[in-house]
Amino acid sequence: MKWALKKNPEIPDELKTVSLNPITLRLMLQRGFFSKEQIKKFLAARYEDLHSPDQLSGISEAIERVGKARDEKESVTIYGDYDADGITSTLLLKEALEKIGISSSTYIPDRNKEGYGLNKEAIDFIKKEYRTKLLITVDCGISNREEIKYARKKGMDVIITDHHSLPKVLPQKCILINPKMPNQEYPFQDLAGVGITFKLCQALWEKFVPKEIDQLKWLLDLVAIGTVADCVPLVDENRIFAKFGLVVLQKTKRVGIQEIIKTARLNISETNPPSAENIAFQIGPRFNAAGRMDHADLTLNLLLEKDAAKARVAALELEAKNSERQKMTQTIFEEVKSTLKENENYKLIIRKGENWPLGILGIVAGKIAEEYHCPTFILREGSKIVEGSGRSIDVFNLIEAVSKLDSLLEKYGGHSQAMGIKVKPGNLARFEKDLLEIIERSYDENMWGKRIQIDAEIKPQEIDWDIVSEIKKFEPFGEGNREPVFLARNLVVRESRQVGNGQKHLKFVFGSDDSEKKSFEGIFFKGGERCSEFLVGSRISVVCNLRSNEWNGNHKIEMNIIDIKKD
């Protein structure tokens, strides 16, 4: 794999007095922090740094309309999405409304039967079952112009809270809350759906229960899960939500989340805090599993459950759904891979299958896009419609490109890196051809090729506890705030051995000419089969993260190896 070393920025004079390691300072500059104030705000992010919700257009109108529903005891329904972001948004708003005296109903559509967003059959059900006067969407709705018009005809007022890209024509005669709206004063556009829901809740509590506004932060466990699971960049407010939400998650009183943590066998306790990685790879996928394989109400009801025994049963059911999801994902992934050539330099991959379940097509598309490093669509083929999910790579804005082809599509929506589409079978070939032409106009082999982005080169003598502790202040890591990646050259292999179940991993002890008395431990996960390449005495270069490893009370600096080459 190619190694791409980022440019080493010069430290301006005004930052040379900052009490940080020069390597840390350069990492700050790479990430766009050019002043002492910006650096301090990033490293010591505070809950109080959240922006005022009043800056979001539509908020004041929404508060007034919810206040009317509260005063007149109207029926309110929350309409959510079936993923982790939508589920946490739904529960968050329900709890916040309860706090101000509104008992609301909830509705999450069936992914396989109803698809994403509002639909007329659901609106009919909501009107008949709940006699709804006010419909509030979370994490969806911005592209449902016709459905909102239909809800209005049914006598409902509608508040849309959404974070997805704006359609060319916006819904009319409803209240729209989306930080991407034009003429927006709000300073941060990349909130997840649950982040926008939190801003609405924040404004509601400031208006109706101001004395209890400090208690709102205890809902941040939900906000952190939805934010991290939706892969929005962990910067600005998202970073604050994740940072403090992880603190709340460590102490969560929600028996549903407690049981999910137990069934996932996560070691989260008062002495072992959760990480964003725990959400991204363990908790988030389990929240998503019900909506992918069955119905998201399983997860929502589990989170609402107060009885520990009932929550345990539901969590075990969710765990079974997640295991089923993993197996099916792997089956379809291998089926798609069998149609692809290993060394082919793909620019676009589109594959379809008749019996592939919609709920896992996005995961498969993501895995293929990552492995072949190109935009990918995985679709379910029907006689009247072909639908599914697309995933992209960091250098290509997928939804921007697809929006130029909207005349070929029945429906589409999403983000720059992830989206869903519906297309008639007769238009699919033309869609693929035209999208490939758009890709080829911006294609650059050096930018698109699969590579490891290295933040900085580090010399062995520069690796110490100071740099490791400063890097830890960058947490939580995730999309838009990746863990720093370092290059260490000319290391000498002193020890190497295979470890782990099946000897899948490689454990190293390195030395160097520059630091004869120093040794460095490294672990290369899934690198066991390369053991014979790195004999004792070999000189190598390593691309790695620097981490603190605690074992039996001992603390060591460890290189988490991403790739390794002989010098």
pLDDT tens per residue, range 95-147: 999 999 999 999 999 998 998 899 999 999 999 999 999 999 999 999 999 99
Rg (CA), the chain: 25
Which structure tokens are listed for 235? 């910067």
* Same domain, residue pair 91 and 183: yes
Q: Is residue 291 domain-shared with residue 346, that is, in the same domain?
A: no
Among 338, 360, 384, residue at a domain's last position? 338
Q: How far apart are CA 190 and CA 194, in angstroms?
A: 11
**pLDDT, tens digit, 9 for 90 and up, residues 54-82:** 999 999 999 999 999 999 999 999 999 99
In a domain, residue 269? The reply is yes
* pLDDT for 515 beyond 90: no
Q: Predicted confidence band at 517 (pLDDT cuts at 50, 70, 90)? A: low
Q: Give the domain range for residue 395.
A: 340-448
Helix 193-208, helix 220-229: angle, nearest 10: 160
Question: What is the secondary structure of 92-131 as a DSSP string?
Answer: HHHHHHHHTT--EEEE---HHHH-SS--HHHHHHHHHHH-
Q: Are 87 and 291 in contact (CB under 8 A)?
A: yes
Q: Which two tokens stand for residue 359?
A: 């709920």
Q: At what angle do helices 284-293 and 220-229 cross, to 10 degrees?
A: 70
CA distance 503 to 506: 8
Q: Which is it for strands 520-524 and 157-161: parallel, antiparallel or unpaired?
A: unpaired
Following CA atoms 273, 278, 279, 285 in sequence, which dihedral angle do they give, to the nearest 10 degrees?
-150
List pLDDT tens digits, range 141-190. Answer: 999 999 999 999 999 999 999 999 999 899 999 999 999 999 888 999 99
The answer to whether 547 and 560 have CB atoms below 8 angstroms apart is yes
The answer to whether residue 142 is domain-embedded is yes
Q: Does the pLDDT value for residue 552 go beyond 90?
A: no
410 and 469 co-located in one domain: no
CA dist 550 → 277, 279, 547, 555 (Å): 18, 21, 10, 5
Return the pLDDT at 518.
Answer: 78
Is 333 in the same domain as 345? Answer: no
Alpha-carbon distance 51 to 280, whole Å? 25
Tell me whether residue 47 is in a domain.
no
Do both 295 and 379 map to the same domain? no
pLDDT value for 484: 97
Which helix (H) or strand (E) is 3 found in, with range?
strand 2-5
CA distance 446 to 449: 6
Q: Which of 229, 263, 278 is at the close of a domain?
A: 229
Which CATH number covers residue 363? 3.10.310.30
Query: Do 74 and 200 reside in the same domain of the chain?
Result: yes
According to DSSP H, which parts of 458-565 are helical?
465-472
**398 falls within a domain:** yes
**37: in domain:** no
Cis ω for the linkage preceding 109 (within 30 of 0): no
pLDDT tens-place string over residues 451-493:
899 999 999 889 999 999 999 999 999 989 999 999 999 999 9
Q: What is the mean pLDDT of residues 397-406?
A: 95
- Burial letters 234-253, b for 16+ CB under 10 A, else e: bbbbbbbbbbbbbebbeebe
**Would you say residue 346 lies in a domain?**
yes
369 in the same domain as 259: no
Residues 345 and 307 in one domain: no
Residues 276, 384, single domain; the answer is no
Alpha helices in 181-266 (DSSP H): 193-208, 220-229, 236-250, 255-263
Q: Do both 490 and 550 map to the same domain?
A: yes
Identity of the amino acid at 543: V
Residue 40 lies in a domain: no
* Total domains in the fold of the chain: 4
Residue 438 has pLDDT above 90, yes or no: yes
pLDDT digits (tens, 9 = 90+) for 373-394: 999 999 999 989 999 999 999 8
C-alpha–C-alpha distance, residues 317 and 319, integer Å: 5
* Domain membership flag for residue 195: yes
Q: Which of 149, 110, 151 is nearest to 132 (CA)?
A: 151
Give residue-wise pLDDT tens across range 231-284: 999 999 999 999 999 999 999 999 999 999 999 999 998 888 999 999 999 999
pLDDT score of 291: 94
For helices 297-304 and 255-263, give the axis angle rounded to 10 degrees.
120
Q: Is 380 helix (H, G, I), strand (E, B) or coil?
A: strand
Q: How much is the pLDDT for 513?
A: 78
pLDDT in tens, 127-136: 999 999 999 9
Torsion of CA 253, 259, 260, 265, to 10 degrees: 120
C-beta of residue 317 within 8 angstroms of C-beta of residue 260: no
Residues 408, 414, 415, 417, CA torsion sign:
negative
Task: Compute the distance between CA of residue 110 and CA of residue 163 in angstroms, rounded to an integer.
Answer: 21
Residues 84 and 136 in one domain: yes
Residue with tokens 């000419």: 513
Same domain, yes or no: 442 and 472: no
Beta bridge partners of 105: 77
Q: Which SS3 state, helix, strand or coil, does residue 470 take?
A: helix
Q: CA of 26: how far to CAs of 461, 469, 484, 544, 561, in Å? A: 18, 16, 11, 17, 22
Last residue of a domain, one of 214, 229, 244: 229
Mean pLDDT, the chain, rounded, equals 94
How far apart CA 401 and CA 403 sit, in angstroms, is 5
Give me the pLDDT at residue 516, please.
62
The pLDDT value given to residue 112: 84
Kindly state the DSSP code that residue 481 receives in the 8-state scheme. B
Torsion angle of the four alpha carbons 533, 538, 542, 547, in this order, in degrees rounded to the nearest 10: 100
Which residue type, as a one-letter code, is found at position 254?
Answer: R
